[in-house]
Amino acid sequence: MTRLRRTPYAFFYLEDDLQLDISGLIRGDAPGAAADARIIALALLTGDRHRLGREELELLASVPAERWVAVAGRDPDLIASLSEKGLLLVDGEVNGHTVLRERDEALSANQWNLYAALYHFMTQWTGVDIGAVDEAAAQFARQTVAQIDAFVAQHGPAPEPFPELSAIEAVRLPGVVRRDGLFATLAARRTTRAFAAQPMKLEELDVVLRYVFGCHGYGEAVPGLVWVRRTSPSGGALHPIEAYPLISNVEGLKSGIYHYRAREHSLGLLAAVDPPEMRRIATSFMCGQGYFGAAHVSFVLTARFYRNHWKYRRHQKAYAGILMDAAHLSQTQYLVSAELGLGAFVTIALNAREIEQCLGLDGVSEGVIAMTGCGPKAAGDSPLSLPISTNPSVDP
Ligand SMILES: Cc1cc2nc3c(=O)[nH]c(=O)nc-3n(C[C@H](O)[C@H](O)[C@H](O)COP(=O)(O)O)c2cc1C
């Protein structure tokens, strides 16, 4: 190790460390707490949060992020602790630190906006099993009335579903009802949590891929910039979202992990995986949601951040645009699936780190945003489907 640099990809804040005021309690004072704020560092390079000592913060503040400086008499233990936490970078070949330094350089080279990086890398999940970890979500997923009752008793009723602002007058609309074409498909769109055992037809997957993720046109704006058209909109016509189909039950296709090639409308097989293992992997990607893992095909939607960030360089809105691009594709996939009579789903409850590792993605130039999926529906409703009836004001 010869030189040091502070990563710019870190945030620091103060959190109250509430210490019980024992002597106050003995004196009979009202129970209170003495606050001694602790310094918390959010290390975007690792996605971890750490408590920092004041000496650590002082050392960090003495090292610039813009250029390398000599170690020059700084405490080696503090340097080791800060570099392990992914806050201080060292430029020698020190075990483990090379990875963090490369990640720091990759974030910078890929034009990540600082606030977007904070949100994206600090909210990624790893090793999550919804049933075990997110008890509130699991309560809802199990859909027992008693559990929902208990949830409402604990947290109060959900906020008003249909807010009515006080208005100058209420204007009745003509109420045109359309049941044809797209309107029938919109009415049929549902989230499916029970998939049939029969295989999905190759032609069905063909249509889903072509009309959801397929490239229906492209043009060279200027040499060096190709605009792409899909059936969904995309910020800057860049379409940075890629689809990796995880296929476990489609006629005529090997079960395994694929990448969809949008321009030529073909599939590249990345790894052959037998069907039960493919379903197990898909389920663990989706945090234990076996009802989605059982789908005939699920799609990992990744963003090639570098393509979007090429235009929207460190832009504060770039990340929101990427999330919206993925959301549009998800809705289009719901609609195309509904039109074909297939079930569909979307989820963002993902173990993103594991997915990226499995697909060989660094997470910085390309990373996971969402998963969707589809396949023939099982007969009958899933016990998880919501008891929702039609609204006669809109669907008479
Ligand atoms: C961003 C997003 C994430 C979702 N994640 C999950 C999920 O993790 N598990 C699940 O069962 N449903 C998930 N859903 C589906 C919703 O629960 C579903 O859309 C909602 O219950 C309404 O049902 P519908 O789609 O059939 O109209 C998700 C939907 C969206 C838009």
Q: Which atom of ligand 1 approaches the CA of 191 most closely?
A: 26
Residue 196 has phi, psi (to 5 degrees) of -75, 160
Find the mean pLDDT for residues 285-293: 95
Which of 62, 81, 109 is the C-terminal boundary of a domain?
Answer: 109
| Gap from CA of 316 to ligand 1 centroid (Å) | 27
99 and 189 housed in the same domain? no
193 and 312 housed in the same domain? yes
Share of the chain above pLDDT 90, in %: 82
Q: Which atom of ligand 1 approaches the CA of 193 most closely?
A: 11
pLDDT at 204: 98
pLDDT at 231: 98
| Gap from CA of 386 to ligand 1 centroid (Å) | 11
Is residue 395 in a domain? no
The ligand 1 site (C-beta within 6 Å) comprises 190-191, 193, 289, 346-349, 386
Do 248 and 364 touch, CB atoms closer than 8 A?
A: no
CA atoms within 13 A on the CB side of 333: 31
83 and 211 housed in the same domain? no
Q: Which atom of ligand 1 approaches the CA of 289 most closely?
A: 9
Q: Which atom of ligand 1 approaches the CA of 190 most closely?
A: 26
Q: Which atom of ligand 1 approaches the CA of 347 most closely?
A: 5
Of all protein residues, the one whose alpha carbon is nearest to atom 2 of ligand 1 is 347
97 and 195 housed in the same domain? no
Of all protein residues, the one whose alpha carbon is nearest to atom 27 of ligand 1 is 190
Q: Is the pLDDT of residue 382 over 80?
A: no
Is residue 205 in a domain? yes
200 and 78 housed in the same domain? no
103 and 193 housed in the same domain? no
CATH number assigned to the domain comprising residue 229: 3.40.109.10
Helices 318-339/114-122 angle, 10° precision = 50
Which of 81, 109, 137 is the C-terminal boundary of a domain?
Answer: 109
User: The tokens of 390 are what?
Assistant: 């039609």
Question: Residue 287: which domain range?
Answer: 181-376
Q: What is the 3-state secondary structure (H, E, C) of the chain?
A: CCEEEECCCEEEEEECCEEECHHHHHHCCCCCEEECCEEEEEECCCCEEEEECHHHHHHHHCCCCCCCEECCCCCHHHHHHHHHCCCEEECCCCCCHHHHHHHHHHHHHCCCCHHHHHHHHHCCCCCCCHHHHCHHHHHHHHCCHHHHHHHHHHHCCCCCCCCCCCCCCCCCCCCCCCCCHHHHHHHHCCECCCECCCCECHHHHHHHHHHHHCCCEEEEEECCEEEEECCCCCHHHCCCEEEEEEECCECCCCCEEEEEECCCCEEEEEEECCHHHHHHHHHHHCCCCHHHHCCCEEEEEEEEHHHHHHHCCCCCCHHHHHHHHHHHHHHHHHHHHHHCCEEEEEECCCCHHHHHHHHCCCCCCEEEEEEEEEEEECCCCCCCCCCCCCCCCCCC
229 and 316 housed in the same domain? yes
Which candidate, 240, 325, 245, 330, places its Cα nearest to that of 285? Answer: 245
Q: Which atom of ligand 1 approaches the CA of 334 most closely?
A: 25
Report the predicted TM-score, pTM, of the whole model to 2 decimal places: 0.92
| Gap from CA of 347 to ligand 1 centroid (Å) | 6
343 and 252 housed in the same domain? yes
pLDDT at 133: 40
Is residue 165 in a domain? no
Q: For residue range 333-365, list pLDDT tens digits in order.
A: 999 999 999 999 999 999 999 999 999 999 999
Is residue 355 in a domain? yes
Helices 54-61/76-84 angle, 10° precision = 90
Which candidate, 59, 63, 65, 62, places its Cα nearest to that of 44? Answer: 65
97 and 197 housed in the same domain? no
pLDDT at 134: 42
Is residue 396 in a domain? no
329 and 190 housed in the same domain? yes
Is residue 176 in a domain? no
Of all protein residues, the one whose alpha carbon is nearest to atom 13 of ligand 1 is 347
Q: Is the pLDDT of residue 130 over 90?
A: no
Of all protein residues, the one whose alpha carbon is nearest to atom 9 of ligand 1 is 347
230: exposed, middle or buried (Cβ count in 10 Å: 0-12, 13-18, 19+) = buried
194 and 102 housed in the same domain? no
In a mutational test of the pocket of ligand 1, which residue from 134, 345, 372 has the highest number of ligand atoms less than 8 Å from its CB? Answer: 345
User: The tokens of 344 are what?
Assistant: 């569909």
Find the mean pLDDT for residues 225-252: 98
The total of structural domains in the chain comes to 2
| Gap from CA of 348 to ligand 1 centroid (Å) | 9
pLDDT at 380: 82
pLDDT at 22: 64
How far, in Å, are 97, 120, 346 from residue 320 at the CA level? 31, 11, 18
Residues facing 11 on adjacent strands: 42
Q: Is the pLDDT of residue 284 over 80?
A: yes
Q: For residue range 73-118, list pLDDT tens digits in order.
A: 899 999 999 999 999 999 876 666 788 999 999 999 999 999 999 9
Is residue 120 in a domain? no
Is residue 119 in a domain? no
C-alpha span between 206 and 195 (Å, rounded): 19
In a mutational test of the pocket of ligand 1, which residue from 346, 348, 350 has the highest number of ligand atoms less than 8 Å from its CB? Answer: 346
Residue 100 has phi, psi (to 5 degrees) of -65, -40
94 and 198 housed in the same domain? no
